[in-house]
Amino acid sequence: MKLVCAQSDLSTNLSLVSRAVPSRPTHPVLANVLLTADEETQQVQLTGFDLSVGIRTSFAARVEEGGEITLPAKILNDIVSRMPEGDIQLEERAVDAESEAPETSIIATLTSTSGSYTVRGMEAADFPALPVIEDSEAKAIYLPAEALIEGLRGCLFASSPDETKQVLTGVHLTLDRDGIEFAATDGHRLAVVETVTNASEDEEEEYEDASEAEELEVTVPARALRELERMIGMRQSPEPVALHLDGGQIVFELGTQRLTSRKLEGMYPNYRMLIPNQFLSEINLERRRLLSALERIAVIADQKNHIVKCTVDRDNQEIYLSVEAQDVGSGREALPADISGDEPKEIAFNVRYLMDILKTMTCAEVTVKLNDMTSPVILTPLSGQKQTFLVMPVQLRA
Amino acid sequence: MKLVCAQSDLSTNLSLVSRAVPSRPTHPVLANVLLTADEETQQVQLTGFDLSVGIRTSFAARVEEGGEITLPAKILNDIVSRMPEGDIQLEERAVDAESEAPETSIIATLTSTSGSYTVRGMEAADFPALPVIEDSEAKAIYLPAEALIEGLRGCLFASSPDETKQVLTGVHLTLDRDGIEFAATDGHRLAVVETVTNASEDEEEEYEDASEAEELEVTVPARALRELERMIGMRQSPEPVALHLDGGQIVFELGTQRLTSRKLEGMYPNYRMLIPNQFLSEINLERRRLLSALERIAVIADQKNHIVKCTVDRDNQEIYLSVEAQDVGSGREALPADISGDEPKEIAFNVRYLMDILKTMTCAEVTVKLNDMTSPVILTPLSGQKQTFLVMPVQLRA
């Protein structure tokens, strides 16, 4: 292999695929990136893969001799990112058979204007193959980038970080003609975001084809979707993201970039059932003001059990937040609110759950809907995005 | 105690003194700040103290009732910093004797426009006294803030982080009529900065008095001087810093702020002796270019033993840096240099030590002076500040 490419291209693409390289690889070759140079297309392809999430990207280069090699992701990335701007030559070097054992004889040389580095690699054949979409007949579904960003930003925080929680470690996507619904829950709180997919004229035809199928549902690991969110955020292009589903795999394509992930198998909870239809009270509050008050309350609450108590004073149109941590201290905040319906009893929450939701929202005013002190509470923006957040109250000892 | 002060004053001063509050206090009261309110002067004084370094500061407040109390530094700081701008009322509250044991009955109430918090404190009497200057006859020495900043920035990195190294964990200050000399060494590298103290007209008299004394030497813990560097950096004022020395203590006064520290006892190494007077070769290099090359070399060197080898090519007026890490890779950089004197043999360094020095320097060009491969190497700015850095080469196995 022999090629010349721009330092900025190699560096940007290396840091992108390195996100899928595991920090503690189960097999040595997984600490590497797969580098494939194609003489015909004059393209270099990079792949990082931790057996669950894979990122593949390609960029133009002057490929003098094609080939495949795997190289240590971290060291390669660290060197290339520190190289001066300009051309980098990358060449696979034959190693003197006398001085080196043949099984370790894969070495790449990187040369920039300032200096030259060699890095020891491994056989490309040892690198596990990225899942391919076997059913090539299946059409891609095109998703608008803005809808994906909106849905992921509003949902990802609510998925469970606990690997034993299976489907709850993912975000559940429901696609139909009208749009995509995103949902995530860890059992204590739930986030649902409905987005409208306004396919542009150009994609209209393809999009129509895809959505002629029935409603499509899939649960994707949050870890993969966090990378997707980053990848969309970094792109300049407003192009839609192509989604391929096949067997246990899901593939997102963003121009020359591709993210693959296993799907999460298993029944996703029927979360719609959890959201009450009727409420006894409805409270409108300034979101930022409520968040600031909770941040102060959390200083004390985090010393103990994270519990904040809320009481509602309809006559004064105020809500009160309070916290009590023995041996530490206590706190109380009063906030103006627009309260309608019944005056509910004292209700308690994990302060962190409320803060996560309010930080995710971008609206100026938030509507809180509630029934009694043991029923789920719903937060929605007073206007704007179609977000629904549910949080379970904490039961206080009598 | 009862007082009203500005949220910004209380918050700024709390974060300042909190820097001296230990994260793992040896006694519970050391996790607290001492708060003293003086009705007469209408000042609030805050103190944090870890028994080695102490920070005391004061600010104006409306003190309705004087008193002393200690309150948990972290919780207090976290709450106050999140409070809205405006007035905060702080009041020591008598606790109902029936419900609380008398020994835990110290409680402060903080009230802002948005809410009210109580925090449990401890007796001010339990807080250890900050060292005082007993010899009140001794005049203060006034040090220009810029000279202190210049000296500390150039030296602090070279002190040892290893607490068993005693005096080497500090910076050695030598004061005489002409200026201050700063020195720090961890046994592998040495930094010496000479600063000129241009006492301004206003301070001339006091300064003259102080410097009539002989040369003064003191070794101050790096930890205290890092705080001094921060405190000077945060101040707007160009006022000189007053230095008091007494017994085992050193006190720096910056307006209303005071930093106290124990001195490090013991003989500081005679570092002047270590700096060679004559050199076989002298090399001038672009500092940024050398640093960038070393940063790339370090990617490989850090995988092994941090060693970079340097060779000098006088004919081509170039120096070469190289690194070799078995099973990882190798690297080589060439840099243009202005080389005079003999052409030295290959010489090896810990790449991190060279990088630390080059990062500390601000000059465009650096002069490297050397003798043979086992003698100390000196780095100085080609022009500008009076900095001298010494680094010992690493001995390579033959």
Residues A203-220 pLDDT 10s = 444 444 444 556 799 999
Q: How is residue B121 annotated by DSSP?
A: -
**Lowest mean pLDDT, pick from A132-146, B106-120, B146-160, B364-378:** A132-146
List all residues 6 or more positions away from A161 whose beta carbon is below 8 Å from its beta carbon.
A169, A186
Residue B77 burial (CB count, 10 A): 22
Query: Cβ B329–A82 below 8 Å, yes or no?
Result: no
β-bridge mates for residue B70, sequence order: B34, B122
Query: Cβ A300–B114 below 8 Å, yes or no?
Result: no
For an interface test with B, give the residue of A74, A114, A328, A335 to mutate (most B CBs within 10 A): A114
Q: Which chain B residue has its CA at the smallest distance from A298's CA?
A: B79
- Decide if pLDDT at A199 tops 80: no
pLDDT at B176: 87
Query: Cβ A114–B328 below 8 Å, yes or no?
Result: no
C-alpha distances in Å from residue A362, one per residue of A260, A356, A358, A359, A383: 30, 12, 8, 7, 10
Task: Report the distance separating Cα A2 and Cα B263, nearest Å.
Answer: 61
- Decide if pLDDT at A315 tops 90: yes
Question: Residue B137, class by beta-carbon neighbours within 10 Å (0-12 exposed, 13-18 middle, 19+ buried)?
Answer: exposed
Q: Which of A58, A45, A51, A48 is nearest to A19 (CA)?
A: A48
- Decide if pLDDT at A261 tops 70: yes
Query: Cβ A329–B292 below 8 Å, yes or no?
Result: no
Query: Cβ A299–B82 below 8 Å, yes or no?
Result: yes
Q: Which residues of B touch A120 (CB under 8 A)?
A: 327-329
List all residues 6 or more positions away from B397 whose beta carbon is below 8 Å from its beta carbon.
none
Task: Report the distance separating Cα A172 and Cα A270, nearest Å.
Answer: 11
Task: Report the distance separating Cα B387 and Cα B154, nearest Å.
Answer: 7
β-bridge mates for residue B340, sequence order: B282
Look up the pTM and report it: 0.89
Query: Cβ B327–A104 below 8 Å, yes or no?
Result: yes
Task: Report the distance separating Cα B4 and Cα B283, nearest Å.
Answer: 62
List all residues 6 or more positions away from B244 whose beta carbon is below 8 Å from its beta carbon.
B133, B138, B140, B141, B250, B251, B253
Is the confidence metric ipTM above 0.90 for this complex?
A: no
Q: Would you say A394 and A307 are in contact if contact means Cβ atoms under 8 Å apart?
A: yes
Question: Residue A286, class by beta-carbon neighbours within 10 Å (0-12 exposed, 13-18 middle, 19+ buried)?
Answer: middle
List all residues 6 or more positions away from B34 whose beta carbon is below 8 Å from its beta carbon.
B45, B46, B47, B48, B49, B68, B69, B70, B124, B127
Angle between helices A73-82 and B287-301 (to 10 degrees): 170
Q: Which residues of B touch A328 (CB under 8 A)?
A: 72, 75, 119-120
Q: Would you say A69 and A124 are in contact if contact means Cβ atoms under 8 Å apart?
A: yes
Q: Which residues of A touch B84 (CB under 8 A)?
A: 292
Q: What is the mean pLDDT of residues A39-46?
A: 97
Query: Cβ B300–A75 below 8 Å, yes or no?
Result: yes
Task: Report the distance separating Cα B299 and Cα A79, nearest Å.
Answer: 6
- Decide if pLDDT at A95 tops 70: no
- Decide if pLDDT at B140 tops 90: no
Q: What is the mean pLDDT of residues B140-168?
A: 94
3-state SS track over chain A:
CEEEEEHHHHHHHHHHHHCCCCCCCCCHHHHEEEEEEECCCCEEEEEEECCCEEEEEEEECEEEECEEEEEEHHHHHHHHHHCCCCEEEEEEECCCCCCCCHHHCCEEEEECCCEEEEEECECHHHCCCCCCCCCCCCCCEEECHHHHHHHHHHHHHHCCCCHHHHHHHEEEEEECCCEEEEEEECCCEEEEEEEECCCCHHHHHHHHHHHCCCCEEEEEEHHHHHHHHHHHHHCCCCCCEEEEEECCEEEEEECCEEEEEECCCCCCCCHHHHCCCCCCEEEEEEHHHHHHHHHHHHHHHCCCCCEEEEEEECCCCEEEEEEEECCCEEEEEEEECEEEECCCCCEEEEHHHHHHHHHHCCCCEEEEEECCCCCCEEEEECCCCEEEEEECCECCCC
Query: Cβ A82–B114 below 8 Å, yes or no?
Result: no
List all residues 6 or more positions away from B336 whose beta carbon is below 8 Å from its beta carbon.
B286, B317, B318
Using CB atoms, pick whichever of B115, B292, B321 lies closest to residue A331.
B115
pLDDT digits (tens, 9 = 90+) for A363-391: 999 999 999 888 999 999 998 889 999 99
More confident residue, B5 or A216: B5
Q: Which residues of B touch A292 (CB under 8 A)?
A: 82, 84, 114
Task: Report the distance separating Cα A35 and Cα A145, nearest Å.
Answer: 28
Using CB atoms, pick whichever of A120, A303, A333 lies closest to residue B327.
A120
pLDDT at A105: 77
Q: Which residues of A touch B118 (CB under 8 A)?
A: 329-331
- Decide if pLDDT at B204 tops 90: no
Query: Cβ A119–B332 below 8 Å, yes or no?
Result: no
pLDDT digits (tens, 9 = 90+) for A246-258: 888 999 999 999 9
Q: How is residue B100 annotated by DSSP?
A: S
Q: Which chain B residue has its CA at the smallest distance from A121's CA?
A: B328
pLDDT at A114: 87
Q: What is the mean pLDDT of residues B331-345?
A: 92
Query: Cβ B115–A328 below 8 Å, yes or no?
Result: no
Residue A72 burial (CB count, 10 A): 23
List all residues 6 or more positions away from A58 whose beta carbon is below 8 Å from its beta carbon.
A13, A43, A44, A45, A46, A256
pLDDT at B100: 52
- Average of per-residue pLDDT values in chain B: 91
Q: What is the mean pLDDT of residues B360-365?
A: 96
- Decide if pLDDT at B101 tops 80: no
B138 pLDDT tier (thresholds 50, 70, 90): low
Using CB atoms, pick whichever of A119, A292, A296 lies closest to residue B329.
A119
Using CB atoms, pick whichever of B119, B303, B333 lies closest to residue A329.
B119
Q: Which residues of B touch A330 (CB under 8 A)?
A: 117-118
Alpha-carbon gap: A162 to the closest alpha carbon of chain B (Å): 29
**Lowest mean pLDDT, pick from A93-107, B39-53, B119-133:** A93-107
The helix/strand/coil state of B146 is helix
Q: Which chain B residue has its CA at the smallest distance from A112's CA?
A: B333
Task: Report the distance separating Cα B301 and Cα B355, nearest Å.
Answer: 12
Task: Report the distance separating Cα B81 and Cα B83, nearest Å.
Answer: 6
For an interface test with B, give the residue of A69, A103, A109, A296 to mutate (most B CBs within 10 A): A296
Q: Which chain B residue has its CA at the smallest distance from A75's CA?
A: B299
Q: How is residue B25 annotated by DSSP?
A: -
Task: Report the distance separating Cα A251 and Cα A262, nearest Å.
Answer: 9
B207 pLDDT tier (thresholds 50, 70, 90): very low
Q: Which of A276, A274, A236 is nearest to A256 (CA)?
A: A236
A202 pLDDT tier (thresholds 50, 70, 90): very low
B102 pLDDT tier (thresholds 50, 70, 90): low
Q: Which residues of A touch B120 (CB under 8 A)?
A: 327-329
Q: Which chain A residue has its CA at the smallest distance from B323's CA?
A: A117
The helix/strand/coil state of B393 is coil
Q: Which residues of A touch B104 (CB under 8 A)?
A: 327
B301 pLDDT tier (thresholds 50, 70, 90): very high
- Decide if pLDDT at B97 tops 60: no
Task: Report the distance separating Cα A283 and Cα A338, nearest Å.
Answer: 5
More confident residue, B363 or B208: B363
Query: Cβ A329–B120 below 8 Å, yes or no?
Result: yes
- How many contacts does A have with B, using Cβ atoms within 8 A? 96
The H or E element containing residue B35 is: strand B32-38
The H or E element containing residue B73 is: helix B73-82
Query: Cβ A292–B84 below 8 Å, yes or no?
Result: yes
Using CB atoms, pick whichever of A114, A292, A295 lies closest to residue B333.
A114
**Lowest mean pLDDT, pick from A212-216, B276-280, B298-302:** A212-216
C-alpha distances in Å from residue B270, one per residue of B183, B190, B262: 10, 11, 22
Query: Cβ A116–B321 below 8 Å, yes or no?
Result: no
Express as a percent the part of chain B with pLDDT over 90: 80
Question: Residue B90, class by beta-carbon neighbours within 10 Å (0-12 exposed, 13-18 middle, 19+ buried)?
Answer: buried
- Average of per-residue pLDDT values in chain A: 91
Q: What is the mean pLDDT of residues A159-163?
A: 94
Alpha-carbon gap: A82 to the closest alpha carbon of chain B (Å): 6
For an interface test with B, give the residue of A79, A80, A105 to mutate (most B CBs within 10 A): A79
pLDDT at B178: 83
Using CB atoms, pick whichever of B79, B119, B296 lies closest to residue A79.
B296
A104 pLDDT tier (thresholds 50, 70, 90): low
Alpha-carbon gap: A331 to the closest alpha carbon of chain B (Å): 4
Task: Report the distance separating Cα B367 and Cα B210, nearest Å.
Answer: 36
Handedness of CA B92, B93, B94, B96 (dihedral sign): negative
Using CB atoms, pick whichever of A104, A114, A295 lies closest to residue B82.
A295
Using CB atoms, pick whichever of A72, A293, A300 lies closest to residue B114.
A293
The helix/strand/coil state of B357 is helix
**Lowest mean pLDDT, pick from A185-194, A212-221, B123-132:** A212-221
Angle between helices B145-155 and B222-234 (to 10 degrees): 130
